[in-house]
Amino acid sequence: MKLILIRHGKTATDNPEKCHGSTDIDLSEEGYQQAARLANRFKDQQIDAMYASTLRRGAATAGTIAAAHNIDVVSAPELNEVDFGRIEGITFEEACGLYPDVTELWRCGSTQLCFPAGETFTDFAARVNSFLPRLQAHRDDETIMLVGHGGPYKVLVCSLLGLPMEHYWKFRFDMASVSIIDIYPTGAMLGKLSDTSHLV
């Protein structure tokens, strides 16, 4: 099975440094242009199924790509970004002043992190991993596309490659990027990570 991970395009925020996890913001004008370039990249490629985050930035990116294919976009709330709780809508620097204990764990890459009034890292990872059984309904020769967010993709990469979740912090998914994981009966192989060549 070929699993294609698409991160949504740039978002309509007044400050890209703000933490927008569960906050439901739309794509910016540039983000929609990036989604169109993603659609052009995949217009001649077979996609057997597409799953997307329920947040607008993920769903809008998915809808643009799906328009060139005769497939429905299946909503997958498991793929939604982490809920930062009270840190939603503020910058990391601002969070450091308000929640120093939390941000210190964040800075250290701890999996014991718990966002105030939001998700714990453990619950977040469990939610994302609950998506994996959906893949079992597909044949080994199918190409499946996911459209969503960087945080959940880090969880999936660790889980599929058999890496401890502590390695979560070592991966980066740029906006409007393409990553590919080939899944075999014996395991998975990361074939492409955060490719943005279609934006050039």
Please tell me the number of Cα atoms within 13 Å of 125 on its side-chain side: 20
Residue tagged active-site, from 8, 78, 88, 149:
8
Residue matched to tokens 């910058």: 91
* 57 assigned binding-site residue: yes
Residue 160 corresponds to which tokens in the numbers above?
A: 């599929």
Alpha helices in the chain (DSSP H): 29-42, 56-66, 92-98, 100-107, 121-129, 132-135, 150-161
Residue tagged active-site, from 81, 88, 119, 149:
81
Annotation marks residue 81 as catalytic: yes
Annotation marks residue 138 as catalytic: no
Q: Give 16's contacts (C-beta < 8 A, 6+ positions apart).
A: 10
Of 27, 30, 33, nearest to 11 by C-alpha is 27
Residue 33 corresponds to which tokens in the numbers above?
A: 């242009």
**Which residues form the catalytic set?**
8, 81
* Residues annotated in a binding site: 57
* Residues annotated in a binding site for substrate: 57
